[in-house]
């Protein structure tokens, strides 16, 4: 009996040691990833997208041959400073809540005269092909809020309804794998390979994560927007393909953005 007890105690100590060793390895991995990001922070290729997006914003285009300087992102026509940290929001002119990409589709069709198909058929850059114009515009406008605090409005009833819908989507599980956003983003210290999985129920992590998108993805060699991030998440969850610019995606973005409210916006960032 005493011999069994001794073996059991040894077994417990071994399991604890392995756990501590794994925890140490995880810490070292996370530290190494952060050091890599810090080294590249001053040479973020997203700067090229910012410059291209700025040029697109001020250049005449479309059948009407006008720039986007009359586009109201919520702070007045042509104002880009501080717009991103207050999106999604309710727009009285269309009587609905829009995120940045929805608003850009609206402005490019209404102001510049493009068809909806022309501005939304190629939202995400494909490897080895021409860069999506809307990704460049989003990167530029987002960069105009760098260093500001997230300040997502939740006063209009439409904003509250959109937030509630986004919250339902976040907790919704379905598909062949019974997956949902909650599966990966509701606990601490989760990771898929080298990719840390932020816990959006933790406000500090939500602020840090949401405040880093859009981001330059080293593995893709492209800047990816929040719409793309969610599109890819839906794909990985085996959900039906997300429609670009759909209100359901905006609802989820509204929930995530509001979860990061008050956080420092520091994008475009750089990710693996």
Give dist(CA 215, CA 224) in Å, integer.
6
Give dist(CA 87, CA 234) in Å, integer.
21
Q: Give the bridge partners for 192, in sequence order.
A: 195
| DSSP code string of 159-175 | HHHHHHHHHHHHH--BT
HSE at residue 243, side-chain half, CA atoms within 13 A, is 7
Give dist(CA 213, CA 265) in Å, integer.
9
Q: State residue 212 phi and psi, 5-degree precision.
A: -110, 5
Q: In the annotation, is 71 catalytic?
A: no
Name the active-site residue from 16, 107, 181, 233.
233
Which residues are the active-site residues? 233
């Amino acid at each position: 009996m005493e011999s069994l007890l001794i073996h059991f105690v040894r077994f417990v100590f071994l399991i604890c040691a392995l756990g501590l060793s794994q925890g140490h390895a995880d810490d070292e991995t996370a530290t190494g990833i952060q050091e890599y990001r810090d080294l590249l922070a001053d040479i973020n290729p997203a700067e090229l997208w910012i410059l291209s997006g700025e040029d697109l914003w001020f250049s005449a285009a479309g059948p009407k041959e006008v720039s986007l300087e009359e586009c109201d992102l919520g702070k007045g026509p042509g104002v880009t400073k501080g717009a991103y940290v207050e999106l999604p929001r309710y727009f009285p002119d269309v009587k609905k809540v829009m995120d940045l990409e929805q608003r850009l589709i609206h402005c490019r069709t209404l102001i510049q005269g493009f068809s909806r198909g022309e501005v939304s058929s190629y939202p995400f850059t494909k490897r080895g092909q021409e860069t999506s114009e809307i990704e460049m515009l989003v990167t530029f406008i987002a960069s105009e809020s760098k260093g500001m605090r997230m300040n997502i409005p939740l006063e209009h009833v439409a904003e509250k309804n959109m937030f509630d819908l986004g919250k339902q989507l976040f907790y919704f599980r379905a598909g062949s794998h019974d997956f949902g956003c909650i599966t990966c983003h509701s606990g601490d210290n989760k990771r898929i390979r080298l990719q840390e999985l932020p816990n959006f129920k933790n406000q500090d992590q939500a602020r840090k994560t949401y405040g880093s998108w859009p981001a330059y993805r080293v593995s893709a060699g492209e800047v990816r927007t929040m719409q793309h991030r969610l599109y890819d998440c839906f794909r990985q969850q085996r959900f039906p393909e997300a429609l670009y610019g759909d209100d359901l995606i905006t609802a989820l973005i509204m929930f995530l953005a509001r979860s990061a409210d008050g956080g420092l916006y520091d994008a475009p960032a750089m990710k693996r």
